[in-house]
Structure 1
């Protein structure tokens, strides 16, 4: 469940909206909206809330976006498209399945660090979005992401790199849920860098907790 933030926290996270124009202003407004959607909930966030955080009148927001739903669409579409492109690029560039899996996991933790609000928004809203007209691409992107990961896992199994007795459909779900749920506690400005988190995760994934 999403947690609430103190008034003004989304504005500080996204940066001030004043003194900019054009695409910079749009990006700042999207950053504020993403932070509010992720922390307060999409349904609970109003256009006025977004405008207040940005320090503008509600009507001014419509100079940039036609609706709150249009902002949600732009945030999610950009995030999912970029993520899928990154995963597909990793699959193409790394022929060794273990190295490809390492890179997929590292890229996931990097996304959590650089776009935490988009990740949290997707995690919190995905079930609702799958039933919402106009957001069919969310389900399609999710399926394409799953296929990319499964191709890497199955290639590793076929090559003898990964264990033959492991159900890779279950393995994908284990990895997906443990990695992406990290967004609930990870703090980009905290003590753990995404590279360190990825390394720790991979060490446990491959070696386990047992000393022998």
Structure 2
């Protein structure tokens, strides 16, 4: 008899929190079982190893993120609207998979060298191409400035969005949509008022 899907999901959520807090290598099956209120042997009834648990945690997050990103691209929005939708979906994923995002950030670099986690490199390339295609299209159509290095912009946006997993807590004062709105307002419109008399304009390169 297979364990109930809800219980399996609860155990994976617990494991993700432990992995995020302690690191994958430092986490033992016993530690996960303790956090879940189980004996270590009982956890093996649900999963054959902590590696299997991590694999399922990361795949669930990456598969959902990839599906959401692909849906944004398929919607046929303009470059700015596409960028806004990608940012919003990213914060929604942090809301739904905060611990998994934190684990991915900390562990993916060395995990992708292992055969079982080789798919991490492919997922990273897919996400990078999604962002770069959007930024390049925006620069080509005049929606974004043409003097920007799109790869550098991508790295800025990627790192400043996903670092939110280190401080965001679901159910907090601001939901993912509000955080995305504030973030996009800052990135796209800035924080300084136009024609601020206390700050002279930035000198031109020309």
Measured against aligned partners, the alpha-carbon deviations of 1:125-184 in whole angstroms (never above 9, x if no partner) come to 111212222111011101101101111111111111011111111111000000001111
Q: Which runs of 4+ in 1 moved over 4 A?
A: none
SS of the aligned residue for 1:191 comes to: coil
> Is residue 113 of structure 1 aligned with residue 95 of structure 2?
yes
Post-superposition offset of 1:53: 1.6
Measured against aligned partners, the alpha-carbon deviations of 1:50-105 in whole angstroms (never above 9, x if no partner) come to 11122222111111111110100010011111111110110111331111110000
In 2, Cα distance between the equivalents of 1:34 and 1:206? 33
Greater Cα radius of gyration, structure 1 or 2: 2
The TM-score normalised by the length of structure 2 is 0.90
Alignment of 1:3-152 (within 5 A): 21-152=3-134
SS of the aligned residue for 1:134 comes to: helix
RMSD over aligned Cα, in angstroms?
A: 1.4
User: Which residue does the alignment assign to 2:200?
Assistant: none
* Higher relative contact order (Cα pairs below 8 Å, separated by 6+ residues): 2
Q: Give structure 1 stretches of 5+ with no counterpart.
A: 1-20
The TM-score normalised by the length of structure 1 is 0.87
User: Which residue does the alignment assign to 2:178?
Assistant: 196
- Out of 174, 179, 197, which is 2:156 matched to? 174
In 1, Cα distance between the equivalents of 2:116 and 2:168? 31
SS of the aligned residue for 2:127 comes to: helix
In 2, Cα distance between the equivalents of 1:52 and 1:186? 25
- Deviates further, 122-131 or 137-146: 122-131
In 2, Cα distance between the equivalents of 1:174 and 1:102? 15
> Is residue 162 of structure 1 aligned with residue 144 of structure 2?
yes
Count, aligned residues: 193
Q: Give structure 2 stretches of 5+ with no counterpart.
A: 195-206
In 2, Cα distance between the equivalents of 1:110 and 1:160? 28
